């Protein structure tokens, strides 16, 4: 079956109405959950082979997150999908109004390599809950996970409901020309623009989950020891290859030295004296990205770390300073275990330094000063905030996850995933009586009445 035929079959299946049935959707969510639970070892091995990511980390940051999300959907799907009553206004009295959430139809979900299971499968929970059919396109760079997921999805679901198509840029581009009803893309801002351009040609709605440079601001009143430990944990997780990794630290100048000392101790506490031998520390996905991160180190002052091994694609957790805002390490998303440290002095400086830069996906603020926190949050456009911690805000399905501007369009997780894969559909019911003549021509004598009623 070629790609065109596959999409056509999915459209036919969608039109059959089968996916609108809530019990069908719940049954599919349960199948997805069983697939993950029963095959966790295979998935962990695949991700290890792609990223040398330890099994414990795959379970805690990928599999548990998806299973938790699925359980949340199973618990809430009935209430999310209930039509909401809406009031009538003066113009539409008498009428009964409701807003339903209806599926888009056939969705395309494109994933990345850095969290190769969750970035592809997490949106699937929303697409199933929303009542869609879907085609998944995993990242070709995490090849072992891509082929494992292809086999598991193929064994679990009928292809005219959920299919997975492996491949790289060419396949992705071909898929983007097909008549989907929704595109959910996770990846870089550069490719996000290509995806949106392609979607625009067919007026297909998009959700774009992109990346960016998420700053960690460490204020003068912060608990430096815990800030440094949490920031280094976030920076080293998956060897820094996370869309919401703290990209750089903007620390109050009075606390910089203390921060660096605690950050060094934190790395040793988490990964030992030689992180290369730690079973908990990952590797860079491929030579291209390994070389890209090394290049970012050029012209920086390495405070700690800096050891590398091309054969293993290993980069030690590395803290650098001596970089201005124009240095490449402060311009592009680092996506690796390198942490530049820059300083500020006045309370208003972080906001004025960052507010006109491309909007990051996350903003981290370490402080106890509410007015500093509020001022910084409101002045810097960004996707989501986490105060006194990093990354944890994505683990709560009760709050949305997504970017703004350069970091993306739309949100997901929990109810927001259901909403990302459905649209609000208005239904108004009226009786044929009463039928006041005021809305019908001739209008002449009615204008003054309308003016009296509405133009005040």
Token pair, residue 206, equals: 């998009």
For ligand NAD, give the closer residue by CB, 32 or 284. Answer: 284
Rule CB under 6 A: say whether 243 interacts with ligand NAD: yes
Rule CB under 6 A: say whether 50 interacts with ligand NAD: no
Place of tokens 């989501």: 384
Residue number of the CB closest to ligand NAD reads 211
Q: Is 243 a catalytic residue?
A: yes
Task: Give every CB contact of residue 291 below 8 A, 6+ residues apart in sequence.
Answer: none
C-beta of residue 131 within 8 angstroms of C-beta of residue 425:
no
Nearest to residue 415, comparing CAs of 78, 16, 160?
Answer: 78
Residues in contact with ligand NAD, counted by CB under 6 A, come to a total of: 26
For ligand NAD, give the closer residue by CB, 187 or 397. Answer: 187
- Strand 308-309 and strand 314-315: pairing? antiparallel
Active-site residue (options: 57, 62, 69, 209):
209
Minimum CB separation of residue 407 from ligand NAD in Å reads 7
- Strand 318-321 and strand 338-344: pairing? parallel
Rule CB under 6 A: say whether 110 interacts with ligand NAD: yes
Q: Is 209 a catalytic residue?
A: yes
For ligand NAD, give the closer residue by CB, 275 or 408. Answer: 408
Minimum CB separation of residue 431 from ligand NAD in Å reads 48
Rule CB under 6 A: say whether 40 interacts with ligand NAD: no
Q: Which of 72, 113, 157, 421 binds ligand NAD (CB under 6 A)?
A: 113
For ligand NAD, give the closer residue by CB, 306 or 328. Answer: 328
For ligand NAD, give the closer residue by CB, 145 or 227. Answer: 145
Minimum CB separation of residue 426 from ligand NAD in Å reads 31
Active-site residue (options: 243, 316, 386, 419):
243
Q: Which of residues 140-199 bind ligand NAD (CB under 6 A)?
A: 140, 168-169, 172-173, 186-188, 191, 194
Binding site for ligand NAD (CB under 6 A): 110-114, 119, 137, 139-140, 168-169, 172-173, 186-188, 191, 194, 209-211, 243, 333, 335, 361, 408
């Amino acid at each position: 079956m070629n790609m065109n035929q596959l999409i056509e079959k999915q459209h036919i299946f969608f039109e059959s109405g089968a996916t609108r049935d809530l019990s069908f959707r719940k049954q599919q969510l349960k199948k997805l959950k069983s697939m993950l639970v029963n095959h966790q070892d295979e998935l962990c091995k695949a991700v290890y082979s792609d990223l040398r990511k330890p099994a414990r980390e795959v379970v805690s940051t990928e599999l548990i997150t998806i299973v938790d999300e699925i359980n949340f959907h199973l618990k809430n799907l009935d209430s999310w999908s209930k039509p909401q009553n809406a009031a009538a206004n003066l113009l539409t009295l008498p009428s009964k109004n409701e807003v339903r959430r209806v599926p888009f139809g056939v969705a395309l979900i494109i994933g990345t390599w850095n969290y190769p299971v969750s970035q592809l499968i997490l949106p699937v929970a929303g697409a199933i809950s929303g009542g869609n059919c879907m085609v998944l396109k995993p990242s070709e760079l995490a090849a072992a996970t891509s082929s494992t997921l292809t086999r598991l999805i193929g064994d679990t679901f009928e292809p005219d409901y959920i299919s997975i198509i492996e491949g790289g840029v060419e396949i992705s581009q071909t898929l983007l020309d097909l008549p989907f009803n929704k595109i959910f893309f996770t990846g870089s801002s550069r490719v996000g623009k290509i995806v949106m351009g392609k979607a625009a040609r067919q007026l297909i709605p998009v959700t774009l989950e992109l990346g960016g440079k998420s700053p960690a601001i460490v204020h003068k009143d912060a608990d430096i020891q815990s800030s440094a430990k949490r920031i280094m944990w976030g920076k080293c997780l998956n060897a820094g290859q996370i869309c919401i990794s703290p990209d750089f630290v903007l620390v109050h100048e009075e606390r910089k030295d203390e921060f660096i000392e605690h950050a060094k101790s934190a790395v040793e506490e988490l990964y030992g004296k030689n992180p290369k031998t730690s079973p908990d520390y990952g590797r860079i996905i491929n030579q291209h990205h390994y070389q890209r991160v090394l290049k970012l180190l050029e012209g920086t002052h390495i405070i700690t770390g800096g050891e590398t091994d091309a054969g293993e694609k290993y980069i030690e957790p590395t803290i650098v300073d001596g970089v201005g805002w124009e240095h490449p390490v402060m311009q592009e998303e680092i996506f690796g275990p390198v942490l530049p440290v820059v300083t500020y002095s006045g309370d208003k400086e972080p906001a004025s330094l960052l507010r006109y830069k491309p909007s990051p996906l996350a903003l981290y603020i370490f402080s106890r000063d509410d007015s500093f926190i509020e001022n910084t949050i409101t002045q810097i456009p960004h996707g989501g905030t986490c105060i006194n911690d990093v990354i944890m805000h994505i683990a709560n399905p009760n709050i949305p996850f997504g970017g703004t501007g350069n970091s993306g369009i739309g949100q997901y997780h929990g109810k927001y995933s259901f909403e990302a894969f459905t649209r609000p559909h208005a239904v108004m019911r009226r009786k044929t009586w009463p039928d006041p003549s005021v809305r019908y021509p001739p209008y002449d004598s009615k204008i003054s009445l309308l003016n009296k009623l509405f133009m005040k």
